[in-house]
Amino acid sequence: MASLNGVELDLVPLLIGGQYTSSSPSVTFPVYSLEEKRDVYLAESANADAAIKAADAAWTAFGTWKKSSAVTRRKILLRYAELLRENEEELVKVQRLETSVIEMWNSSVILGARSIATPVAAGCSVVFKASELCPKTHHLLVEIFRAAGLPGNVINVIQTRREDAVSVTEALISHPSIRKVEFIGSASVGRAIGQLGGKYLTPVLMELGGKGPAIVLADADLEDAAQKCVAGAFLHHGQLCFSTERVIVIKSIAEKFKELLKKAASTFVTGSGISDRIISSSKAKLADAESKGAKFLIGGPEMASDTALKATILTEVTSGMQIFDEEAFGPSFSLYIAEDDRQAIEMANNTQYGLNAAVHSTNIQHALDVAKEIDTAQVHINSMTAHDEPTLPVGGMKGSGWGRNNALWGLKEFTEIKLITVSMKGNNFI
């Protein structure tokens, strides 16, 4: 079994106030991975409350984390980055065991590390609700932070089963010590968290799902665009919120582009799905589309192996189908044909989501003119929709959430502007 700095996490604990502990009462739930079943301590509302109190003590007590200097935080964060690299093999091993996918899929590490590092850098303490799909991976991220010198009670970790998530999440958001909530996940869960945030007047940073369109203009490099559309849709079995869900091509080049898409798709390795539940949901959306008249350029609602769906390109998708405006979250995309640029833009914007998009053209000004009209927070020209860099602001519009992560934009999410004025005696003129 994997360990880090001598810490064994095979029965994944809770981390509260700098101490590993069991839940109270001591209850576990199983996590099934590629090679093993692991028991995980189950957090309930009482455990959530204890984690909040520990985090609050780390933040509010005089001389504690919020009083730490920028130099101190920077030193710990840089050491954290070093230790993440030094423990890369360990993280890859544990992550792969838990998520059952190819080694280069690392969203559970990247998003988890970002979600804890950003508020810590801003001087906040954290209650980190680890994913029920990869709790050991997330605990390892926190243990690395502690090894980098972070005080033990600044990050507290709990996890729970999906069926208990509602009560535990409300216990967290409703607590007056919780000043900000960050959530990355599905739009349906995001709506529920947004409602709780409104109910308790707790601000929320959310990065939700997408229905990312890739527009292929008439002057695009078609072979390059085909390769990037396929990669953007099929990468990591399509299990990215940034995945290419829709490809919109101008009619004059559509037939040639279809053949290039099939060629690019024929050699692309999609990887495996993260769980039976997610795979089954994606497959059901394909089956629903087929039953309502959709056609398949390649693939269909079938398994390529025990852990992977067939790579699929749909055509003739209409608004009555689930997949029309719901994330497929699998290795598939819908192909649409537009008469001209204006119709392509209308098709791209015809969605509840506003996360990301791509535009393909050899004329940059042409691409920019189209990109400006697309209602998404990120638009990538001549690249995949799945494009993220740590120095660029990333977030959502419309039903894809609000707020921005990364660099200074992320830090601002966890700070507030405070005005203090001083009036000297005899100089207070109103």
So which residues are the catalytic ones? 207, 241
Decide if 255 contacts 291 (C-beta within 8 A). Answer: no
Q: How far is CA 125 from CA 64, 270, 281, in A?
A: 10, 38, 36
Q: How deeply is 92 buried, as exposed, middle or buried, from its count of CB atoms within 10 A (0-12, 13-18, 19+)?
A: middle
Amino acid at 392: L
- 245, amino acid identity: E
Sign for the CA dihedral angle at 286, 291, 292, 294 comes to positive
Q: Distance (Å, rounded) from C-alpha 245 to C-alpha 328? A: 7
Burial of 382 (0-12, 13-18, 19+ CB in 10 A): middle
Residue tagged 């995945």 (tokens): 243
What Å distances lie between residue 203 and 119, 177, 352, CA to CA? Answer: 14, 12, 22
Residue 401 in contact with residue 410, Cβ under 8 Å? no
Extract the tokens encoding 249.
């091509």
Cα–Cα dist 200/228, whole Å: 43
Phi, psi at 259, each rounded to 5°: -65, -35
Question: 38, 31 in Cβ contact below 8 A?
Answer: yes
Cα 213 from Cα 349, distance rounded (Å): 9
How far apart are alpha carbons 31 and 161 in whole angstroms? 9
Q: How many residues does the chain have?
A: 430
Report the distance separating Cα 214 and Cα 264, nearest Å: 15
Contact 64/73 with Cβ under 8 angstroms?
A: no
HEC per residue, 82-122: HHHHHCHHHHHHHHHHHHCCCCCCCHHHHHHHHHHHHHHHC
What is the Cα–Cα distance from 377 to 393, expressed in whole angstroms?
9
